[in-house]
Amino acid sequence: MAGSKLVLEARVSINGFILGLSVVVIPLIRTWFGRHDWVFDYLTETPGKIAISSHIALINGLLLLIYKGPLYKVAVRACFLGVTFGCGLIITFSETTWTHFGWYMCSLSFFHYSEYLVTAIINPRSLSLDSFLLNHSVEYTLAAVSSWVEFIVEKLTVPELKQLSWLSVLGLFMVLCGEGLRKAAMLTAGSNFNHIVQNEKAQSHVLVTSGVYAYFRHPSYVGWFYWSIGTQVPPVVQLLCDDTVCATARSVAVWHRWAATVEELDRAIEGDAV
């Protein structure tokens, strides 16, 4: 661990995420005033859209006043992920057939935010805006967007295909296990973990063989692989949302990217061992 005190950027990100998450207050206020047709129908109508848009604009204005420069960039990204997580919760607990898409929104936003926060905890020297992994790769972005499009098109045209099923639950299980394994790997590796494969060994680098590394050679990649298959492919949006076309394509793409990265990492490790 890098120390018990969080760096400033981490604290700013927490504030931003919580402010974004406060979007869940909107439907709660509605229920407090005796309107129990809780959320989804309301938020998809004009008044709900105006309420959410106004709330987000207010939060961003507040962030602009509080933070400047690089800190604002951290805060606004964390806030965006918080809003996404909050909207995912709203959909999840609404009486709607879009429930599993709410799972997806929560899973995706939590992954990206927790990548940044955990990096801030274990290796603050490597912390940057890239630690959110929002600019992961063109392939990752295309896969995500294509899965959204496929789900929405099928949901609107053939809604019976998008009912909550055992496949959706399997997807959620894969996401949770993959996320847990990856974060366990990051926390176990500590300052040895970096989102960028290091081709030169630093003096502080040690080969980690304890914890989850005793059972997996590359647990962070294994966790990400199953999370990605779960959240971007079969499970949440694809398995979770039964998007079979994107599921198959994404599985192949993730495997090739994962295999190439692991091969590069193994070469680096073997080079250090020589």
| 133 phi and psi angles, rounded to 5 deg | 60, 25
Global pTM value: 0.84
Torsion over CA: 179, 223, 185, 141 (sign): negative
Of the candidates 132, 117, 112, the one whose C-alpha atom is nearest the C-alpha of residue 179 is: 112
**Domain locations along the chain:** 1-96, 130-274
Paired tokens of 29:
């206020």
Query: pLDDT 10s per residue in the chain (274 long)?
Result: 444 579 999 999 999 999 999 999 888 776 676 555 555 566 667 777 888 889 999 999 999 999 999 999 999 999 999 999 999 998 888 777 788 888 989 999 999 999 999 999 999 999 999 999 998 777 777 777 877 887 788 778 877 666 666 777 888 899 999 999 999 999 999 999 988 877 666 777 788 999 999 999 889 989 988 888 787 543 344 444 445 555 566 566 666 666 666 666 666 555 554 4
Can you say how many angstroms the Cα of residue 30 is from the centroid of all Cα atoms in its chain? Answer: 28
DSSP 234: T
Cα 176 from Cα 178, distance rounded (Å): 6
Place of tokens 């090739």: 256
